[in-house]
Amino acid sequence: MRIRTSQMGVALGVALVWPALFGTDAGPGAQQGHSDHWPMLPRQAASPVVSFRDSVGPLLAENCAGCHTSGGVGSHMLELATALDAQDNARRLARAVSSGVMPPWKPGGDTPPLKHDRTLSPEERVIVQQWYEEGAGLDVEHVTPIVPPPPSGAALSRDFHYELPNVYEGTGALDDDYRCFLVDPGFTEDTYITGHEIEPDESRVVHHALVFLIGPDEGGAEEAAGLDSRDHAPGWSCFGGPGVSGAQGLIASWVPGQGATLHPGGTGYLVRAGSVLVFQVHYNYRGGVHADQSGLVLQTHSAGSDVRALSSVTMFAPVEIPCPDSLRSEPHCDRQAVINQRRIDHGFRGGLIPAFMLNRCGKEPEDFEDLDPSDVLSECDIDITEAGSLVEVGGHMHTKGKSLRVVLNPDRDDEQTLLHIPEWDFNWQGRYQYVTPIPIEVGDVVRIECRWDNARPGSTPRYHVWGEGTEDEMCLGALTVLPADPGL
């Protein structure tokens, strides 16, 4: 259902879970009564007929229509454009809502209050169920549109629009192709980016996309232009990052299901005049090679305004996931063999990443040898070096993930959970904005904790080190910080 501002929500889950959980039957006209294979909430005592206009329609518009609209990530499974669409699919809606599968919301209850929380109350779930049980009547015209609200109550201004100048189509030699494209926004004066939207063209191969800022100093733009001209294809190969001097950090990102991102009011990322951007797209070709021409939209504001500059903090923990004991003699469960293959596939840098992460976090490979492969824990701390307020948090793992947690000042009296995903689902990820920004001080510590299951039924265990492919694993977190106002 709806993915809103700042949520990097991976909505591939719609495609994966819908047929099994929702069925393919139509609404009450196709089949009445209840299925024995899905839970129903207790029916309320005698009450008036539920109004679609006053109750069900607004719930669907607020929590469902954002994904299940024309062109939305869930539209190929169910489109909720009109009241008639809802009526035709009333049984499916009741099933999904009553079971708690939809609308998806993964943060646990110990996470601080977040904007755009899609969690429905028990009473709201009963409303949808009861409407279906009463025959899914409509007290509006069939063509009445179900319109989702724009993100954060405001539409994204399309001040800058970039589209790949040429279609890019990989060779398929690698399952995971990281391609960088040079973007010159043409800013002749300092400018704030206050919102963005990445528009993937070919969803079958675009795994995720990142936008890096390259400042006007140190020759970064010329270096990127040189990389761009190395071969006849658009862009350049860039596993692990843009590979350009002067890179100043990540200013935009996308995963499937994410819509427009608007930063908190009065804030944005500062882009100095003469800067360029590097648009990195991760293509996954396990399902076949398809041509792509993705785009980038930026909402901008003059630097002469009252906008305050945001900064980003990236966290990671080592990925060292052993195989079950019975498989440790297999080549794919040998750590060094996996690292050697990483070096073959992605060069010398790819082979160094595991050692770098272990060293950064004060760990050794032996720390992970005796861990239960069904519950592997890795963690790493970073020190806060700048006072301010946390306005946004996010985390990222892949398909072996069990849970993810980001903690402020762990093991101290003032410990506070910043984000907790108790049941990780690769298909629903997010970057979340806090209702109330969380203050941080110099000397504070933030810890990221990731747990994986390498013995999950139906999967093929292998030793995992850090890798950016879908079949690899990661433990990554991100904080968006509003630095303290120096005038206060």
Final residue before a domain boundary, out of 261, 277, 309: 309
Is 319 in the same domain as 257? no
Kindly report the CATH number assigned to the domain that includes residue 318: 2.60.120.230
Which of 193-207, 232-246, 433-447 has maximum average pLDDT?
433-447
- As for how many domains the chain has, the answer is 3
- Tell me whether residue 154 is in a domain: no
CATH code of residue 283:
2.60.120
**Is position 283 within any domain?**
yes
Tell me: do 241 and 317 sit in the same domain: no
pLDDT at 271: 93
Q: What percent of the chain has pLDDT over 70?
A: 84
488 occurs within a structural domain: no
Domain termination site, one of 288, 309, 330: 309
Give yes or no: residues 298 and 326 share one domain: no
**Per-residue model confidence (pLDDT) at position 133:** 94
- Domain-located, residue 1: no
**Distance from C-alpha of 473 to C-alpha of 370, rounded to nearest angstrom:** 19
Confidence grade of residue 427 (pLDDT, cut at 50, 70, 90): low
Q: Please tell me whether residues 134 and 104 are part of one structural domain.
A: yes
In the chain, % of residues over pLDDT 90: 46
Predicted pLDDT at 129: 94
Residue 144's pLDDT band, with cuts at 50, 70 and 90, is: very high
Say whether both 198 and 317 belong to one domain: no
Q: Are residues 301 and 205 in the same domain?
A: yes
More confident residue, 296 or 344: 296
Q: Do 164 and 201 share a domain, yes or no?
A: yes
Asked whether residue 42 carries a pLDDT value surpassing 70, the answer given is: no
- pLDDT-derived band at 363 (thresholds 50, 70, 90) equals very high
Determine the structural domain holding residue 84 and report its residue range. Answer: 12-149
Does the residue 251 lie in any domain? Answer: yes
Domain boundary residue, one of 149, 171, 204: 149
SS3 sequence, the chain? Answer: CCCCCCCCCCCHHHHHHHHHHHCCCCCCCCCCCCCCCCCCCCCCCCCCCCCHHHHHHHHHHHHCCCCCCCCCCCCCCCCCCEHHHHHHCHHHHHHHHHHCCCCCCCCCCCCCCECCCCCCCHHHHHHHHHHHHCCCCCCCCCCCECCCCCHHHCCCCCCEEEECCCCECCCCCCCEEEEEEEECCCCCCCEEEEEEEEECCCCCCEEEEEEEEECCCCCHHHHHHHHHCCCCCCCEECCCCCCCCCEEEEEEEECCCCCCEECCCCEEEEECCCCEEEEEEEEECCCCCCCECCEEEEEEEECCCCCEECEEEEEECCCEECCCHHHCCCHHHCHHHHHHHHHHHHHHHHHHHHHHHHHHCCCCHHHHCCCCCCCEEEEEEEECCCCEEEEEEEEECCCCEEEEEEEECCCCCCCEEEEEECCCCCCCCCEEEEEEEEEECCCCEEEEEEEECCCCCCCCCCCEEECCCCCCECCEEEEEEEECCCCC
Q: Does the pLDDT at position 443 exceed 90?
A: yes
- Evaluate whether residue 5 is within a structural domain: no
Q: Which of 275-284, 362-371, 456-465 is the least confident region?
A: 456-465
Can you give the pLDDT at residue 415? Answer: 97
Same domain, 332 and 470: yes
Residue 155 lies in a domain: no
pTM: 0.74
Do 164 and 186 have their domain in common?
Answer: yes
Both 421 and 380 in one domain: the answer is yes
Let me know if residue 7 belongs to a domain. no
pLDDT band at 37; cut points 50, 70, 90? very low
Residue 29 has pLDDT above 60, yes or no: no
Would you state the pLDDT for residue 481? 94
Q: Clarify whether residues 44 and 59 are in a common domain.
A: yes
Q: Is there a single domain that holds both residue 63 and residue 77? A: yes
